[in-house]
Structure 1
Amino acid sequence: MRHLHRAVVAATTGVALLAAPAAAATAPEEQHRVALQERLDEVVGAGAVGALAEVRDERGRWRGTSGVAELGSTRPVPVRGRFRAGSITKTFVATVVLQLVDEGRLRLGDAVARWLPGVVPDGRRITLRHLLNHTSGLHDVVETLPMPPQQEFYDNRWRTWTAAELVSRAVEHPPTFRPPGSAFDYSSTGYLLLGQVVEEATDRPWGREVERRILRPLRLHGTSVPGASPRIRGPHPHGYVPGGDGLLDYTEMNPSVMGAGGEMISTTRDLDRFFAALLGGRLLPDHLLDQMQTQGVAGGRPYGLGLAWRDTSCGVRVYGNDGDALAYQSWSFTSADGERQATLALTPDFGGDPDDAVDAFLDEAFCG
């Protein structure tokens, strides 16, 4: 599912703009808001049907949208719309795992085989820490799944997958490296396993633990763990995948294929609130939050225990994650001091690669 947006598919889209609500502002503040809207428009121009974003800083909160909510219409993207958050799900799952570590119910050094005996080869050497920071060497299940334009991809649209089925597909392939912990290789397989470990440790589904420990306490009312439910409830933009001679509406699909690696639905507001609470120390004690922000292996992606980071053009380091959920892509980052936040979601049109435009938007949000 990662990098699916790099596929090039001929598509024609209309673009409509919805500016953020007007408010009294100083000239520099208004210039910043204008620049944010321009950068968001550039994201759509680079390869999206529609986009929505929220930025919070010392000047207040800005929300904006660009493009359309549905192809063939002029309906604007709902500014408080919901979207599939993809791998941002991993940060929620990691937070639950670390809460269980804090409670003494799990240990980062626990072998996978302790909780899931016989499920993965070399399970006695692969630890929960390796799963969290993508240093397990387990083959990424995403690479085993059919993708557009393969007919099997479309045939699987409504299929309900279990974590056990998906893990089994992944471990049919040899590890990408050995020994565990010696390198970084992004793998959603590890998070499917972590979801299973949470269930073993708590006797409850991983999604229910996310709801109980994070969604309800933080009042993240726009966020859900859909399981096998195909719908996105509430206002939302439509998402698309390459299909036929253009784009196929893929808004409704069975998200169990992503499971604990990426099935959650959220909003810009809720993701900002979640990352503010996480980095503000409301969800984890300092020593575990510090480990969450520590790179797993030298030379790997800047990624700790379920948390990524990036350095902006002005030198501000921001923490969060990004997600690719086929028809939706999202980014959510927060500065270390919690003073600045930016969350962006888009529905790709597969006619271009919006990554550079997204980087420019985030730079404007944190540096402008």
Structure 2
Amino acid sequence: MKRSSSSHRLGRSATAAFALAAVLTGTVLTAVPASAAAGDHHNDLQHSVDALVKAGAVGTLVRVDDGHKLRTATAGLADRETKRRLKNKDQYEAGSQTKTFVAVLTLQLAAQGKLKLDAPVEKYLPGVVPNGQKITVRMLLQHTSGLFNYTEDEQAFKEILADPEREATPQELLEVGFRNDPYFAPGQGWHYSNTGYIVLGEMLHQVTGQPVKTLIQQKIAKPLRLRDTYLADPKVANPGPGFAHGYLTEVADGRFSYADTSQWSLSWAGSAGAVVSTARDLSTFYSTLLGGDLLPKAQLNEMKKTVDLSEEWGAPIGYGLGLYRQETPCGTGWGHDGGTLGHNTTTLVSSDGKRSVAGDVNNAFVSSEAQEDPALERFALAQGQVQLVAVCAMFGKEVPAQK
């Protein structure tokens, strides 16, 4: 199977447009370089988030539940203009963690016999998707459809940045994806594609008669009492106190500049990445899912069948149906990451759902200079340290010693 991947980390690109092609994929919890796990940070969550803010983050929060004890760490600001401090309970843009919500909705319908994972999308959206007779629902969920990822279209994102408050329709996003050649024939490769999840959102609407925003509330948020979770349509409902503002961040000559994105439209993300939530709600969602209380066993097993991405990503990662499997230095986790124009998020839980870690950094990077900027490297190492300390704390283990 052919596999291809775009940049999965904001700030690794040399130009703004190319960097923005990486949004909605965020930063997967990958193996941190040994140097980042050096002993002076030990297992201190607060020390690690403080260090990340010192490295350039506007704010960062982490919530860790090891199955016995809940720990939180928070540092920095939720709003640079008012100097409002970030709180661990603040809402934030979850980015591509939205994909797990959409996958759950799809699998719930499969369990009810209202759609089939291996049926062509043409059956549910006639005449909408090019080559839709050969692209199945499963392929869309697992990024094996070959559909071009619309967030990798440089011209489209230049237009979004030029007018970030404009509302984009799902049809416009699909048009961008469909006007570009596919990466490969359906089922013959793997490439992260937000386009596939916009298609899934339209399919869910067609099958149920309800938009994804409503389905998330009815089928997930309300039953799980996720009171702070919703799909932004098209903007964050209330960017005031209780919400962590996001910041599009540029690095040039070691200096950071920040643009507040909290009033920008999230319509460009839609059913691929427009969920707003909290660390608590996201931990509850993924814990309930992996604990087997959100989907029937058969559908959860389908969700956990992964494509191995270790070779191309340089880390032991597999992608299922809207769900990552991550082998970390301290244990196996399941979850998803997310990136928007102002946030970088991750939620990971243990295989039984009893342990969880969720976090947000309210920066998304654009570097107009070389991606090797030392300031950006320092930021990445500090963020990696936060993730490593947090996930090891989730598993109740010490951070591995530097080799």
Same fold by TM-score greater than 0.5: yes
Contiguous gaps of at least 5 residues in structure 1: 10-31
CA contact (8 A) 2:95 2:345 kept: yes
Matched, 1:110 2:119: yes
Call closer, same or farther: CA 1:36–1:246 in 2, change over 3 Å: closer
CA contact (8 A) 1:4 1:326 kept: no
1-structure distance, mates of 2:127, 2:83: 53
Number of the residue aligned with 2:322: 306
**Any idea what the Cα deviations from partners look like across 1:43-89, whole Å, max 9, x if unmatched?**
33344111011100144111111122233565321221110000000
- Choose from 278, 283, 289 the match for 2:289: 278
Please list, as runs of the form range in 1=range in 2, the aligned pairs for 1:192-271 lying within 5 A after superposition.
192-233=198-239, 235-242=242-249, 246-271=257-282
Task: Give the letter aligned to residue 352 of structure 1.
Answer: L
2-structure distance, mates of 1:232, 1:81: 11
Q: Bigger CA drift: 227-236 or 213-222? A: 227-236
**Any idea what the Cα deviations from partners look like across 1:109-160, whole Å, max 9, x if unmatched?**
1111111122222110000000000000000010125588x4x333321211
Matched, 1:346 2:361: yes
1-structure distance, mates of 2:293, 2:223: 10
Task: Determine helix, strand or coil for the equivalent of 1:330.
Answer: strand
Number of the residue aligned with 1:49: 58
Identity of aligned residues (%): 35
2-structure distance, mates of 1:347, 1:6: 17
Number of the residue aligned with 2:168: 161
Task: Determine helix, strand or coil for the equivalent of 1:358.
Answer: helix
- Choose from 62, 69, 78 the match for 1:60: 69
Across the aligned residues of Structure 1 and Structure 2, the Cα RMSD in angstroms comes to 2.6
Matched, 1:78 2:87: yes
Call closer, same or farther: CA 1:8–1:168 in 2, change over 3 Å: closer
1-structure distance, mates of 2:384, 2:304: 21
Number of the residue aligned with 1:12: none
2-structure distance, mates of 1:341, 1:217: 20
Matched, 1:174 2:174: no
Call closer, same or farther: CA 1:271–1:260 in 2, change over 3 Å: same
- Choose from 339, 343, 349 the match for 1:324: 339
- TM-score scaled to structure 1, two decimals? 0.86
Call closer, same or farther: CA 1:145–1:164 in 2, change over 3 Å: farther
CA contact (8 A) 1:83 1:232 kept: no
Count of residues in Structure 1 that have an aligned counterpart in Structure 2: 343
Contiguous gaps of at least 5 residues in structure 2: 1-6, 16-40, 366-374, 393-397, 399-403
Residue 273 of structure 1 and its aligned partner are, at CA, apart by 0.4
Residue 321 of structure 1 and its aligned partner are, at CA, apart by 0.2
**Any idea what the Cα deviations from partners look like across 1:229-251, whole Å, max 9, x if unmatched?**
34445512221114799322111
Task: Give the letter aligned to residue 222 of structure 2.
Answer: R
Task: Give the letter aligned to residue 108 of structure 2.
Answer: Q
Q: Bigger CA drift: 223-232 or 159-168? A: 223-232
Task: Give the letter aligned to residue 130 of structure 1.
Answer: M
